[in-house]
Structure 1
Amino acid sequence: MVGGCASDSVKAGPANETTPEVVDAPVTEVARFSAPSATALAVRPDGTLLVGERLTGRIFSADPDSATTSNLATVKDLDTGMTQGGLLGLALTSEGGILVSYTSPDGHIVIDQTDASARNFTRRWDGPKTAERANGGRLAVLGGDTHDQNTLIIGIGDLLDPAKTPRPDTANGKLLRIDEEGGAGPWASGFNNPFALGSDETNTIWVADNSPGEQPERLLRVTAARAEVVASWVDTRVPSGLAVTDDGALAICYYQTGDLMLVDPDDPQGGTGPRVADDCRYGVVSLGDGRLAYSTEREVVVVDTDG
């Protein structure tokens, strides 16, 4: 990998030994549509939802109000043989191009890119060889008025070799910044499996980091300058999706429990908060105006959290 900006390595924070009582948030279901194992969710500027299915490689658009869907493309060269393989992430460039991350047949994590038409994909980045677990693979884009609007970030797990995480020349346990030419450099380090990550679209990535064995899972605020643990917990929830809502809250999806919770970043309560749903599995994205789209085992559901 090429060199790049890197924040300080993550330092462990204290674990929350107790889980606060769960309170259900008032929500209204807006729409739902079929989408088996929809690990990848993104939103176009016009509010159209993009969905990627992990096992089929299908990418389609959906109207979040009517649930009308339209196929865009299918990633055909896909390795789905491992538990955490397949199509993993979607993101959008400022020009409307689509970025997709997945595990390829040669056993590597890769990123392809296309324009808004999704007709022809080209390789953006060839990443590390995958492991059976702790691969990561989710994407986020930083930008805003004062930043490069195509700062592409991918989260890579420790690839079951955490001893390599401190090394700047490896992808293990890092958020990597991928440049336009396909070069990669460490943007932040010290993670176990940063699969659940979401961008404020300006300068901050929020990460809900999975953990091996009995180590605590963690919620982190990450910029190019530092990575800060703001909460941790010892009960296993397996965070699988995270979105920054339009009012600045964090919507976190937990695969193990199915809970989709709204977490206050200033008072994260061990990564908990009002529960929006109990069947979230693979991911969540903010649609704005209080609406969230999240994926169950076989569907994507759109809800209004303003009640």
Structure 2
Amino acid sequence: MWCSWGVVDERAAVVQRRLRSVVLVAVSLVVGAGCSAGGGGVGAAGGRPEASVGAGSPRPSVSGVVAPAKGAVRVTGTLAGGLKSPWGVAVLPGGDLLVGERDSGRIVRVAAHGGKVTELGSVPGVEPGSEGGLLGLAVPASFGTDHQVYAYFTTASDNRIARMIYDERREPGNQLGAPNTVFKGIPRGRIHNGGRLAFGPDRMLYASTGDTGDKAPAQDKGSTAGKILRMTPDGEPAHGNPEADSVVYDYGHRNVEGLAWDGGTRLWASEFGENAWDELNLIEPGRNYGWPQVEGKRKGGSVPAGYADPVVVWKPADASPSGLAYARGSLWMASLRGERLWRIPLNGTRPVAAPQAFLTGAYGRLRTVVAAGDGALWLVTSNTDGRGTPRKGDDRILRLEVS
């Protein structure tokens, strides 16, 4: 969706100049171990994949907000390191993490205390390549009794969702049962496979899908590409979906890789734009989020009405967002090309201040952020994914104290 910076009213122009100035100050507030004021990341041209080229100064757009956010982030340590292309993360009862490696198809368990890494096994049928492979992980509220682990992954023919029984009594490396496919046929591509998987407060399973680099399916409600899907744990259309016989919850997305619910159980999604604007969207059932007709915020009457505007937009150089989490009254968005963690403080459905950037350039590309349950965050780097510059110890899981 297109942005609204081009206002000709003189007073509005003054406000916008002040906003840009304030945001520049906000993104310079980098707090935490090894923080720097630098930004940017390793890009790849062509098709605007996860880290593609896009110029622009830090200029997130928040309508009516002129004050920067206030808060702090402190990195209290590295929980685990040496992970290869980590992507999906699921929190187990008790706080331990399940982490999936995109390219190897391996799932490991990381102890929340001490960081011990135990291999569960690999998901059979994973076909890695570019942005495909083992992507999102999720566990249901019933995990304590059914021990089911859900995975979203790319195969040779499609993207699909399967569940496996995790049996801790078996030997490490052989603790995953055979996958039982609950939903298949999601279009796959070299880029834009979406892949975030999460159980909502309603205990339904949500999955984000990408447009696979082919724009048209995002507007086709008969396709599962470029959508957010909502289904029962068995993969059936969930009661209350816009269409009773469809898992499609909304449409018009390019590539959503972040899903999170706020304190009011409202669903938010972070989305890759193309060359103009990345987006944070408030998700409502049946809404059309505009891609490919609109990128960023709508501009006057230049496009047809009926598209949902994003709540916040960023230039791709400052974001290229992946994971999304909610903690302490704010959304937290991990950025790949932007190499920073964004905080968006909320009051209901509205930001109450301009987004604030942390850890800019300090740890490279940031893939996934997860609420730790005590107001803290787990933050997963993504420097071994083929587009980053690995550092000693990468990839790693960091623990963050936030306020």
Shift of 1:276: 4.4
Correspondence list, 1:84-99, <5 A: 84-96=131-143, 97-99=148-150
Match status 1:24 vs 2:77: no
Contact 1:140/1:199 (8 A) holds in 2? no
C-alpha distance 43-269 of structure 1, shift in aligned 2 (>3 A): same
1:305 aligns with 2:398: no
**Residue 32 (structure 1) shift:** 3.0
- Asked if residue 244 in structure 1 is aligned to residue 326 in structure 2, the reply is yes
**What do the CA deviations read for 1:181-215 (whole angstroms, capped 9, x no partner)?**
43452111121111122234974321111012x23
Decide whether the 8 Å contact of 1:291 with 1:305 is kept in 2. yes
Counterpart position of 2:278? 217
Q: Which residue of 2 aligns with 1:37?
A: 85
Partner of 1:5: none
1:63 and 1:79 map into 2 onto residues whose CA distance is 28
Aligned positions of 1:60-209 closer than 5 A: 60-81=108-129, 83-96=130-143, 97-106=148-157, 108-117=158-167, 118-143=176-201, 147=202, 149=203, 151-183=204-236, 184-200=246-262, 203-209=265-271
**d(CA) in 1 for partners of 2:199, 2:137:** 10
2:380 counterpart (277, 281, 295): 295
Distance of 1:119 and 1:156 partners within structure 2: 25
Q: Quick one: distance in 2 between partners of 1:225 and 1:218?
A: 18
Amino acid at match of 1:79: E
User: Which residues of structure 1 form unaligned runs of 5+?
Assistant: 1-10
AA matched with 2:333: I
- Do 1:231 and 1:268's aligned partners in 2 also have CA atoms closer than 8 Å? no
Greater fraction helix: 2
User: Shift of residue 268 of structure 1?
Assistant: 6.8
Quickly say closer, same or farther: Cα 1:163–1:129, change in 2 above 3 A.
closer
> RMSD over aligned Cα, in angstroms?
2.5
CA apart distance, 1:269: 5.8
How far did 1:233 drift? Answer: 2.2
Measured after TM superposition, the shift of residue 295 of structure 1 is 1.8
Q: Which is worse superposed, 53-62 or 109-118? A: 109-118
Where do 5+ consecutive residues of structure 2 fail to align?
Answer: 6-15, 32-72, 168-175, 237-245, 288-307, 384-393
8 Å Cα contact 1:29-1:301 kept in structure 2: no
The two structures have a TM-score, normalised by structure 2, of 0.65
For the residues of structure 1 that align with 2:264 and 2:180, how far apart are their CA atoms? 26
Q: Tell me if structure 2 keeps the 8 A contact 1:112–1:123.
A: yes
Change (3 A) 1:42 1:126: same
Distance 2:160 2:76 in 1: 35
* Deviation digits for residues 50-103 of structure 1 (CA, Å, limit 9, x no counterpart): 10001111111111231112111211321112x111111001111112110110
Cα 1:12–1:136 change in 2 (3 A) is: same
- CA distance in 2 between partners of 1:90 and 1:186 (Å): 20
**Higher strand proportion (structure 1 or 2):** 1
Structure 1 range deviating more: 23-32 or 236-245: 23-32
Structure-2 separation of matches of 1:225 and 1:169: 13
Residue type of the partner of 2:30?
D
Structure 1 residue 284, shift from structure 2 partner:
1.4
Q: Distance in 2 between matches of 1:202 and 1:122?
A: 33
CA shift digits 1:270-298 (9 cap, x unpaired): 6x314146324321111122322122223
Asked whether 1:54 is paired with 2:102, we answer yes
Q: Deviations for 1:227-286, whole angstroms, at most 9, x for unmatched residues? A: 6521112343211211112x231111110021122221343766x314146324321111
1:113-171, CA deviations, whole angstroms, 9 ceiling, x for partnerless residues? Answer: 0234232321111032312212211112112xxx3x1x111111122222232222111
The residue that corresponds to 2:241 in the other structure is none
Matched length: 287
What SS does structure 2 have at the residue aligned with 1:20?
helix
Question: Which secondary structure state, in structure 1, belongs to the residue aligned with residue 370 of structure 2?
Answer: strand
SS, match of residue 84 in structure 2 = coil
Distance 1:72 1:221, change over 3 A: same
Q: 3-state DSSP class of the match of 1:164?
A: helix
% identical equivalent positions: 24
Structure 1 residues 126 and 300: CA distance shift in structure 2, 3 A: same
Matches of 1:166 and 1:225 in 2, distance apart?
Answer: 12
Paired residues of 1:20 and 1:269 also in contact (CA < 8 A): no
